[in-house]
Amino acid sequence: MNNTNENPIVYGVAPLVGRILLGVLFLMAGIGKISGWEGTAGYMASVGMPFVPLFLFGAIVLEVGGGLSLLLGLKARLGGLLLAMFLVPTTLIFHAFWNLEGQERYMQMLMFNKNLAIIGGLLYVAVFGAGKFSLDNLVCPLRKKK
């Protein structure tokens, strides 16, 4: 992608906006878990999660840390990969629509598919990086000018 005709919106602003949208989602989810610790812990226990305090703390660290990573574009590849890996078991455990019926099945199937789309976006960041407008690019530019 060393094309001198690169559109700055496509190759600059679009990855930034995408990272911000993904990052805010996870940052807010992590902060929500902090402020709603008891409710989140109760929900986790209700689906049979063991070691709830440990897994809840881990989810908060991943969501807040990964969200900030994406927002800032700092170690965004790693942040995207870790969040994608985190979402796989999370999606399978908390959106198991195949065990439900009726409207609840439909809603959980939507949530399951939404998470699959988010995983796709995170994998894109993990593979292609944070883009031009990121701390990763300022600290260690991945593209070399010819």
Task: Tell me if 145 is assigned to some domain.
Answer: no
Task: Tell me if 114 is assigned to some domain.
Answer: yes
Q: Are 129 and 116 in contact (CB under 8 A)?
A: no
Q: Are 113 and 97 in contact (CB under 8 A)?
A: no
What's the whole-number mean pLDDT along residues 122-130? 96
Task: Tell me if 30 is assigned to some domain.
Answer: yes
User: If pLDDT is split at 50, 70 and 90, which confidence band does 146 have?
Assistant: very low
Residue 110 to residue 43: CA distance in whole angstroms: 19
Q: Are 129 and 136 in contact (CB under 8 A)?
A: yes
Cα→Cα distances 102→7, 17, 106, 132, Å: 47, 36, 6, 46
Task: Tell me if 108 is assigned to some domain.
Answer: yes
Residue 128 to residue 134: CA distance in whole angstroms: 13
Domain count, the chain: 1
Task: Tell me if 143 is assigned to some domain.
Answer: no
Q: Are 135 and 72 in contact (CB under 8 A)?
A: yes
Range of the domain at 62: 8-137
What's the pTM?
0.88
Closest CA to 59 of 92, 97, 24, 26: 26
Task: Tell me if 119 is assigned to some domain.
Answer: yes
Task: Tell me if 144 is assigned to some domain.
Answer: no
pLDDT tens per residue, range 49-58 = 999 999 999 9
What's the whole-number mean pLDDT along residues 68-85? 97
Task: Tell me if 22 is assigned to some domain.
Answer: yes
38: phi then psi, degrees, rounded to nearest 5: -60, -45
pLDDT tens per residue, range 94-123 = 999 999 999 999 999 999 999 999 999 999
